[in-house]
Structures are given as structure tokens and as C-alpha cells.
Structure 1
Amino acid sequence: MAAPGQNLAVVVHRAGDLRLEDRPIPEPGPNEVLLRMHSVGICGSDVHYWQHGRIGDFVVKDPMVLGHEASGTVIKVGAGVTHLKPGDRVAIEPGVPRETDEFCKAGRYNLSPTIFFCATPPDDGNLCRYYKHSASYCYKLPDNVTYEEGALIEPLSVGIHACRRAGVTLGSKVFVSGSGPIGLVNVIIAKVMGAAAVVVTDLSASRLQTAKEVGADFTIQIKNETPQEVAAKVESLLGCMPEITVECTGVQACIQASIYATRSGGTLVLVGLGPEMVTVPIVNAAVREVDIRGIFRYCNTWPMAISLLASKRINVKPLVTHRFPLEKALEAFETTKRGEGVKVMLKCDPTDQNP
């Protein structure tokens, strides 16, 4: 069916070994759809698997296709699919439960231990020309939402899930630690959920400028302040301690600053993941009743994100700073590794390189 090079895929074999390979075009099974991929964003986790061959307990043992921030067009539907048809433009939710376990029944399917997740070993991702996926986890895009916006729903979902877990609401004062792509989506979502003021920290002046563009009220460029000094700066800019902090770096000093900064009785959500063991002022949090919460990916976020994009309540377009055709994927990964720009987008359809 496929000519050579027709299903080009970006495959990590082991740490430091990233290749462009031709894969067979898959056939959709019952309740699946075959997609011609359009836009796929590169995530820090993709780069991490390429550089280190593992993230925590998830180890690359066999060649794995990368990519999980994606959108495409339905070209074939499997038996039983009724809500999608060939030609539909869709955004892909990369996590698909394999069984209806206790977590699925409780509406927290992201916590299911057997979940399929794109580009998490041993599951292949969708950074390729053609990809099949569960039809229930493909969401039709309205005509006024671009493919790139569709691909950005995945990182956006991390912001929605984190801000929901944090309890962001009308009038909230929020501190977002870190201004990478995940910090930025948390700024966007906190503002649209009603935050009155958001302060963002980062080492990079250019990333803080982007944070301003997407809605941050205040920014702090970190130099060599102690965690307590960072917390004091946050309080001074907001005029009070924030009741919500969203930590997006995973860096020990930043987690420490986040605890010190959060108002007594407030909530700290840990989004960024660093080393397994970190030293934090846990007693400070405990005696001030600061709730510390984690998040793992997201659940039930795609419909909300699509509504926000379609209504133009949010603008994620400033996040995409680089675009590469799929054939130049290795160059795109190098660009991401160097930390250039914000979001690097790969264009998988050679006949349509538009956003």
C-alpha cells in the first residue's frame, strides 16, 4: 500500500540515537481511526527520551516513535466509529485507558496503571505521517481552530488540570514558577479561570517576555536569590502572598521558594518533575496548612480546551516559535534541546505545511 518514505516516523532507539525511519501504514481496528498527521509539537519529555533513554521507571527498551502533542485528519474509520468520518480534522488525546478500572470509574482515567500513552515506553507516539488511534480520544476541531492550536491542546491540558487541582477561581492571586511551555499554559489558563493577578519567575528574559504576552501581570527574572528572597519578591509584587502556586520546573530551589511563597491555607501544585528525592521545608508547609498536590498529565480536558480556542477566549499562537517539516525532525529536536524559542512544531503533511 505504501511507497517507501510514505510513513516517515521519528524513532528513538536508545539514549542519543534518534532516527527517521519508514514504518508500515497501520490499519484501523474496531473503534479506531487512521489519521494523516498534520502538526506535532516537541515536548521536553521527547527530548529527554532521546537524550537519556528513560524518564524515571519508563525505559526505552525497543525502538519507539516519539510525539504526543498532535493533530491530524481522519482518512479511514474502523468498524463501530460513528462520530468521525474521513476528512474530519481532529486533536488527539494521547492517553487511552486499556481497561475500565477503579480510576476510570471515578473519572480519573489518567491514573489508570495500564493506560496507553503515546511516546511513553513501550507505546509508540504519533510523530509520523500516518497513525491510528482510539476514535473516542480523537476530538473534532471546529473550522476556526487550526491544526497547530489542536496540537497545543495537549500542553494546554496540563495547565487546565493543574489549575483545576489548584482551585484557581475568580480573584485568585497566583504564582507560576517557571516560564517554559508548561509555565506559559498555566498562565493562560489561570487568567481565563479568573485569576486577578499572576506573577511568573524564570531565568530567561525572553521567556518572561512571552509570559507577559500571554497574560502574566508580573515577572521576576531569577539571578542568584535564595528561595526566601524569591518568595519575598513574589509577595511584594502581588501585594500579598499568593493563595495558589503552580511549580513548573521541578528544580529543588524552586520548590522551596514555592512553599515559602504560598499563603497560609493556600495550595501548591507540583507540575514540573525533577529528581526523585528533593529537600523541601515541609514543616513550613505543614504548620501553615499549605496543601501540596501533584498532577499526572490530565483528564477530561479536551472539550474545555476546544471550547476556549473556538470562542477565542485564549490565544496560544504566540507559543509556536519554530516550524520544521517532518524530514528535518532531527534539526527540530536539536533546536528544542538548545532551548531556543518556546514550542517547536513539526509539520507531518508534505502537502499542507500551514499552521
Structure 2
Amino acid sequence: MLAARLNVVDHRLDVAEVSIPEPGPGQVRIAVKAAGVCLSDVHLVQGLLNPMYLNGDVVTLGHEVAGTIDALGPGVTGWTEGQRVALQAGELSAAQVLTRGVDYDGGWAEYALATVATLVPIPDDLPFEQAAIIPDAVSTPWGAITGTGAVRAGEAVGVWGIGGLGAHAVQLLRMIGAAPIIAVDPNPAARERALDYGADLALDAADPDLPMAIRSATAGNGLAAAFDFAGIEAVRRQALPCLGPAGRLVLVGLGPEPMTIANPTLISFLGQQIRGHYGSGPDDLGVLVGLVTHGRLDFAKSISDVLPLSQAAEAVNRLEHKEGNPVRLVLRP
């Protein structure tokens, strides 16, 4: 079969012929129908992110995956061949969070292995391209908003970075009733996208009057929660002073830069918090598929383009350079 394999030492990405994997006990083999391309994949190729638990130097990328069950491993019951599923982006193993396509082989391939605990059924009318991006592109902001950020209806929220995750964060915040929703991004096209996805206000990160604009939009109260989806120190430095009393800054975007807190005493005085977030909970994917099924969410406009698996490197390059300002690019084996 074909698989897009990354050497994490020399950062070479190649689409190559490899053996079709055989499922072991508790596993199934997935015939991959669609796999999302995430900025984390770009960072892996760049070497800005490195797997923590990978056994070896080469991994098949792809943590956003949907397809059909192709074969059952020994002892697997309750699932059938041909069943349509999306895969959790990661799983807990021996007190370690292992990420698909990072710490073990993922879904940029014609076939992929998955443990039964990571399978979530998807309805027949949900396109594979849309189902594939729910793990991570949607479930990570969902977990950040409803779990780590604990956002409630009526709370003022800021979203920094309106890429694939940030755009869906705006959409999800709108659904749960956050108000106002303020999007921040230096890219005019990204700001337009934020408004299209449901933001009440979209501001330029380069505007020196941005903190004042946020205070004005929140009746002087500041933000109850701010989300950094960019993983950039400048974003965190800008977002922190925009918080109101008891405000939460949630760090979702991954980046290597150290974070500087200019006035920690003020954070203590105001009871503010900085919270880290990674991935989503084991039930989040199923909840989100249910919301799609019941018509509360629609990700049709999130699929910016679909490319063949053979063009994985091109997809990475397009996302890295924001060619066409994509929300999500999807690979189809």
C-alpha cells in the first residue's frame, strides 16, 4: 500500500510502498477514505515538534482519519467489516497520551490500524472528508472550550489565530452561546473567515489599540476566556492583559517559545489563570458526531480542498504557506 512516511531525524517526507498492516488483538484495520492535514503535521515535517514516544525514526503521519473497517483482529467483537468510522486522534496507554500519526503510524495511508477504543461510528450521510477533520480540528477546540476553558453561555471570549482550529472554535463558541466572540488575527482573510464562522468582532493583532477595543466590546470587563490557537509567545503576551477578573488564558497552539509574564502580581490579584490544553477527551468525538447528526454543526465549508495521498508533500507546503487560506486540506488515498 501507499503511505506518507516522515523520517523524524532528517525530516524527509516520502510517499512510499509499504506492507499492508495486520490487526492484532483488540485492533481493526481501517481502509482510509480521508485524512486531514493539520498544522501539527507541518510542524512535525519542519522539526518544530518531535514525537515523544515513537519507536524508531519513521512514522506514517495523519491523526485526523475516517474510513471503513476492513478487517477485524483476533477477539474483536461488536464491530463489523464495512462499518463507517472516525478515529480518535490519540489514546491513553500506560499513563502516556499517544498521538496517532506522531507516536505511532497514522492515517496518511491506504490502510491504518486502530484499537477498538479509538473507533467512533459515523452516519452514512456524513462525508468522510468532514468526518476525518472532527478529531483534532474540531474536537481539540471543543475540549479546550467546554473542558479546560469551562466557557459558559454569555461569557466574553477571545480567539487568537483563526486557522483550522481557531475557525472551528469560533463556530463552537457561537453554538454554546458565548458572547461576544472576538477573533484576533493579522490576516485580513482569516478575520473575514472568523466573521463568517460566527465571530461578533474580528480585530487585527497588529492594531496597537486592540486591548482598548476588546475592553470597549466587553463593556470594560475584559475577557472571561482567551484562547491561543497560534502557539506564539506574542499572542500570549497580547492576550493576557485582555482578561478580566478570574479570566482564563488557555494555551492550545503548540510552540517552542518560552512564555513571559510581565505582571504576575496582577494575575494573582485578579485571580486569573493560565491553563494548558492538549487534544480532547475520549467522549468528545462521539458527542461532536452526534451534534452533526442532529443538525447542530456542519463542516461542509471547512473542507478547502481534497488532494490525492500522492500529493501529501504538496498539501504540507500549501498549509505551511497558507496558500489559498485553507481551513482544512484533506488527503484521499
- Structure 2-normalised TM-score? 0.92
* Selected match of 1:156 from 120, 127, 138: 138
For 1:53 and 1:296, the matched residues in 2 are separated by 16
Q: Does 1:298 align with 2:280?
A: yes
Structure 1 gaps, min length 5: 1-6, 100-111, 349-355
Distance 1:287 1:314, change over 3 A: same
Q: Does 1:43 align with 2:25?
A: no
Matched-pair contact (CA < 8 Å) for 2:66–2:128: yes
Q: Does 1:269 align with 2:250?
A: yes
Name the amino acid aligned to 1:124: D
Which position in structure 1 is the counterpart of 2:302? Answer: 319
Q: Residue 16 of structure 2 aligns to a residue in which SS?
A: strand
Q: What is the Cα deviation at residue 59 of structure 1?
A: 7.8
Q: Does 1:197 align with 2:180?
A: yes
Q: Residue 244 of structure 2 aligns to a residue in which SS?
A: coil
For 2:99 and 2:256, the matched residues in 1 are separated by 22
* Selected match of 2:195 from 205, 212, 221: 212
Distance 1:294 1:215, change over 3 A: same
Structure 2 gaps, min length 5: none
- What whole-Å deviation, never above 9, does each CA across 1:29-62 have from its counterpart, x for those lacking one? 1221111101111111111111227438678951
Q: What is the Cα deviation at residue 79 of structure 1?
A: 2.8
For 1:293 and 1:343, the matched residues in 2 are separated by 26
Q: What is the Cα deviation at residue 82 of structure 1?
A: 2.5
For 1:344 and 1:201, the matched residues in 2 are separated by 22
Matched-pair contact (CA < 8 Å) for 1:259–1:268: yes
Q: What is the Cα deviation at residue 134 of structure 1?
A: 0.4
Distance 1:57 1:135, change over 3 A: closer
For 2:53 and 2:243, the matched residues in 1 are separated by 32
Q: Residue 97 of structure 1 aligns to a residue in which SS?
A: strand
Q: Tell me how large the CA RMSD over aligned residues is.
A: 1.9
Q: What is the Cα deviation at residue 80 of structure 1?
A: 2.9
Which position in structure 1 is the counterpart of 2:327? Answer: 342
Distance 1:92 1:56, change over 3 A: closer
Q: What is the Cα deviation at residue 15 of structure 1?
A: 3.7
Distance 1:273 1:283, change over 3 A: farther
For 2:182 and 2:257, the matched residues in 1 are separated by 27
Name the amino acid aligned to 1:63: V
For 1:332 and 1:224, the matched residues in 2 are separated by 31
Q: Does 1:331 align with 2:311?
A: no
Q: Residue 285 of structure 1 aligns to a residue in which SS?
A: helix
Matched-pair contact (CA < 8 Å) for 1:247–1:268: yes
Which position in structure 2 is the counterpart of 1:68? Answer: 63
Q: What is the Cα deviation at residue 94 of structure 1?
A: 2.4
Which position in structure 1 is the counterpart of 2:98? Answer: 116
Matched-pair contact (CA < 8 Å) for 1:41–1:67: yes
Q: Residue 55 of structure 1 aligns to a residue in which SS?
A: coil
Which position in structure 2 is the counterpart of 1:243? Answer: 224
Q: What is the Cα deviation at residue 319 of structure 1?
A: 1.9
Q: What is the Cα deviation at residue 97 of structure 1?
A: 2.3
For 1:42 and 1:198, the matched residues in 2 are separated by 26
Matched-pair contact (CA < 8 Å) for 2:180–2:217: no
* Selected match of 1:172 from 125, 140, 155: 155
Which position in structure 1 is the counterpart of 2:165? Answer: 182
* Selected match of 2:3 from 9, 15, 33: 9
Equivalenced residues, count: 325
Name the amino acid aligned to 2:32: M
Distance 1:257 1:68, change over 3 A: same
Q: Does 1:138 align with 2:119?
A: yes
Matched-pair contact (CA < 8 Å) for 2:48–2:256: no
Matched-pair contact (CA < 8 Å) for 2:37–2:316: yes
For 1:23 and 1:254, the matched residues in 2 are separated by 41
- What whole-Å deviation, never above 9, does each CA across 1:319-345 have from its counterpart, x for those lacking one? 221210112222212111211222111
Q: What is the Cα deviation at residue 246 of structure 1?
A: 1.2
Q: What is the Cα deviation at residue 206 of structure 1?
A: 0.9
- What whole-Å deviation, never above 9, does each CA across 1:249-299 have from its counterpart, x for those lacking one? 122221122111111112221111222422123333222111211112111
Where does structure 1 differ by over 3 angstroms across 4 or more consecutive aligned residues? Answer: 53-61
For 1:69 and 1:333, the matched residues in 2 are separated by 14
Q: What is the Cα deviation at residue 96 of structure 1?
A: 2.1
For 1:53 and 1:212, the matched residues in 2 are separated by 30
Which position in structure 2 is the counterpart of 1:103? Answer: none
Matched-pair contact (CA < 8 Å) for 1:15–1:49: no
